């Protein structure tokens, strides 16, 4: 194994602060070297109790701070392109939260910049690939015992959406997870998307089209439907059922605890992703640290990040028009594997 990684964490909000805690206390082989956030107080709060960590308001200054050998990007999606390109220019390995870059033109620039280096530097934070239930479903589908997958039925519910969350973000932020999970589980690209909008929930903020129903088509003719509902109010629920020629398999219901008292039994429902996917984030970051120290890059690639952006962008166009939109992606550079690897 190589040296202990010195990680620059860009963004100290919900995810950044959680990753700082994880790097400090959960994973081995890495330390937080520096944190950057334009909101300095937030950066300082996130590193309270840690020693030898510098803080910056400028993310690029953080990349050049002493002891930095790797980068974890947890700033908002629109800031990712600049940070990724700066990390590539410095040949720094990087774990970048999803979406890699929300718009497909920017995502293409990032993927092409990495491909031009001739080697991978980036892992994209599609953490569901590290979730125990998703891993079991992937192994089952790859094993072939259920036969050819015909459909995936997916549910993605959040208790509430953060301020500033737009109708497009239900697709390019929330459903980006299903886009990646479907490509990975089925080992295929998504080729077309149709978005339908029911009458919005009265709980949705004014003007937000929530929930939405998203239908993807794949290369082999499988269908993937997603109910995305980000102000459901009642829990963080992520489910997926694969329907195959010889059987079906469902995940997303087994991770809770059932509490029984004399008044009856009650099943606990996670309230957010930090609870539901805690183990997945731990495994994701540990896998990134381990691979980086071996001099490798594994996990979801810049191609996967680009594919998610291009599919999501087609989805946003369908959301606007109600029409089915075909996905038109650039060719996949040889540096990157087909989906599902
Ligand atoms: N994998 C997941 O399940 C998951 C969950 C939540 C969020 N995310 C992703 O993580 C990222 C951050 O989301 P969040 O919920 O933590 O947002 P947040 O708003 O809580 O935090 C973002 C932080 O980044 C800071 N920031 C803004 N511009 C910056 C820049 N250029 N450089 C550095 N920091 C900057 C902000 O001041 C803020 O403190 C997003 O890409 C989001 O999609 C992923
Ligand atoms: O950024 C978050 C995050 O990616 C969560 O995993 C998802 O459930 C939310 O919908 C999204 O807003």
Closest ligand to 124 CA?
A: 1
Ligand 1 center from residue 323 Cα (angstroms)? 31
Q: Is the CB of 173 under 6 A from ligand 2?
A: yes
Q: Are 270 and 235 in contact (CB under 8 A)?
A: yes
Which residue's CA is minimally distant from atom 7 of ligand 2?
174
Q: What angle is formed at CA 104 by the lines to CA 102 and CA 107, rounded to 5 degrees?
A: 75
Cα 243 to averaged position of ligand 2 atoms, centre (Å): 25
Among 273, 270, 266, 240, residue whose Cα is nearest residue 255: 270
Nearest ligand atom owner, CA of 125: 1
| Pocket lined around ligand 1, Cβ cut-off 6 Å | 10-16, 36-39, 42, 59, 74-77, 79, 97-98, 125, 127, 173, 273, 277
- The pick from 9, 12, 14 for probing ligand 1's pocket by mutation, whose C-beta has the most ligand atoms within 8 angstroms, reads 14
CA of 230 to the centre of ligand 2 (A): 9
Residue 168: C-alpha distances to residues 38, 67, 113, 193 (Å): 25, 39, 26, 14
CA of 73 to the centre of ligand 1 (A): 8
Ranges of the chain whose pLDDT falls below 70? 254-255
pLDDT digits (tens, 9 = 90+) for 200-258: 999 999 999 999 999 999 999 999 999 999 999 999 999 999 999 999 999 998 667 88
Nearest CA to ligand 2 atom 2: 174
**Sequence-ordered list of residues with C-beta below 8 angstroms from that of 136, at least 6 positions apart, any chain:** 251
* Contact present, 170 and 102 (Cβ < 8 Å): no
User: Quick one: which atom of ligand 1 is closest to the CA of 13?
Assistant: 21
Alpha carbon dihedral 138, 139, 140, 143, in 10-degree steps, equals 120
* CATH of region 5-128+279-300, choose from 3.30.70.1450, 3.40.50.720, 3.40.50.300, 3.30.360.10: 3.40.50.720
CB of residue 273 inside a 6 A radius of ligand 2? yes
What integer pLDDT is reported at residue 167 of this predicted model?
Answer: 98
Q: Which atom of ligand 2 is nearest to the CA of 238?
A: 8
Burial of 154 (C-beta count, 10 Å sphere; 0-12/13-18/19+): buried
Measuring from atom 11 of ligand 2, which residue has the nearest CA? 174
Nearest atom within ligand 2 for CA of residue 156: 8
Q: What HEC string does the chain produce? A: CCCCEEEEEECCCHHHHHHHHHHHHCCCCEEEEEEECCCHHHHHHHCCCCCCCEEECCHHHHHCCCCCCEEEECCCHHHHHHHHHHHHHCCCCEEEECCCCCCHHHHHHHHHHHHHHCCCCEEEECHHHHCHHHHHHHHHHHHCCCCCEEEEEEEEECCCCCCCCCHHHHHHHHCHHHHHHHHHHHCCCEEEEEEECCCCCCCCCCCCCCCEEEEEEECCCCEEEEEEECCCCCCCEEEEEEEECCEEEEECCCCCCEEEECCEEEECCCCCHHHHCHHHHHHHHHHHHHHHHCCCCCCCCHHHHHHHHHHHHHHHHHHHHCCCEECCCCCCCCCCCCCCC
| Nearest listed ligand to the Cα of residue 57 | 1
Q: For the chain, what are the domain ranges?
A: 5-128+279-300
169: CA distance to ligand 2 center in Å?
Answer: 9
pLDDT digits (tens, 9 = 90+) for 20-57: 999 999 999 999 999 999 999 999 999 999 999 999 99
Choose among 271, 316, 298: nearest CA to 176. Answer: 316
Question: 63 alpha carbon to ligand 2 midpoint, in Å?
Answer: 26
CA of 72 to the centre of ligand 1 (A): 11
- Looking at ligand 2, which atom is closest to the CA of residue 127? 6
Q: How far is the C-alpha of 285 from the C-alpha of 93, rounded, in Å?
A: 13
Ligand closest to the CA atom of residue 161: 2
CB 25 within 8 A of CB 47: no
Residue of 13, 42, 96 with the most ligand 1 atoms within 8 Å of its CB, for mutation: 13
Give CA angle at 279 (49, 19), nearest 5°: 35
Does the predicted interface ipTM exceed a cut of 0.90?
yes
Instruction: Give the closest ligand to the alpha carbon of residue 74.
Output: 1
**Are the CB atoms for 124 and 305 separated by under 8 Å?**
yes
């Amino acid at each position: 194994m190589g040296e202990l990684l010195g990680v620059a964490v860009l963004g100290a909000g919900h995810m950044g602060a959680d990753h700082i805690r994880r790097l400090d206390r959960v994973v081995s082989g890495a330390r937080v070297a520096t944190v950057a956030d334009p909101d300095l107080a937030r950066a300082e709060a996130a590193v309270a109790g840690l020693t030898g960590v510098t803080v910056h308001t400028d993310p690029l200054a953080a990349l050049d701070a002493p002891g930095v050998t790797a980068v974890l990007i947890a700033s908002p999606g629109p800031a990712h392109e600049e940070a990724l390109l700066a990390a590539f220019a410095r040949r720094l390995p990087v774990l970048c939260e999803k979406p890699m870059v929300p718009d497909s033109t920017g995502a293409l620039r990032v993927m092409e910049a990495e491909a031009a280096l001739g080697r991978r530097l980036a892992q994209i934070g599609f953490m569901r690939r590290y979730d125990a239930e998703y891993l079991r479903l992937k192994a089952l589908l790859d094993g072939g015992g259920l036969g050819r997958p015909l459909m995936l039925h997916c549910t993605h519910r959040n208790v509430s959406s953060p301020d500033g969350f737009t109708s497009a973000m239900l697709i390019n932020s929330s459903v980006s997870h299903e886009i990646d999970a479907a490509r990975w589980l089925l080992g295929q690209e998504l080729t077309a998307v149709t978005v339908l909008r029911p009458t919005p929930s009265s709980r949705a903020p004014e003007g937000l089209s929530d929930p939405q129903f998203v239908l993807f088509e794949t290369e082999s003719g499988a269908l993937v439907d997603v109910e995305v509902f980000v102000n459901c109010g009642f829990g963080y629920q992520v489910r997926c059922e694969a329907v195959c020629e010889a059987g079906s398999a469902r995940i997303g219901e087994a991770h809770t605890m059932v509490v029984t008292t004399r008044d009856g039994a009650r099943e606990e429902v996670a309230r957010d992703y930090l609870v539901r996917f805690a183990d997945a984030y731990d495994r994701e970051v540990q896998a990134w640290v381990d691979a980086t120290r071996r001099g490798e890059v594994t996990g979801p690639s810049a191609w996967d990040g680009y594919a998610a952006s291009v599919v999501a962008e087609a989805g946003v166009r369908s959301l606007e028009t109600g029409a089915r939109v075909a996905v038109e992606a650039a060719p996949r550079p040889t540096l990157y594997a087909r989906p599902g690897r």
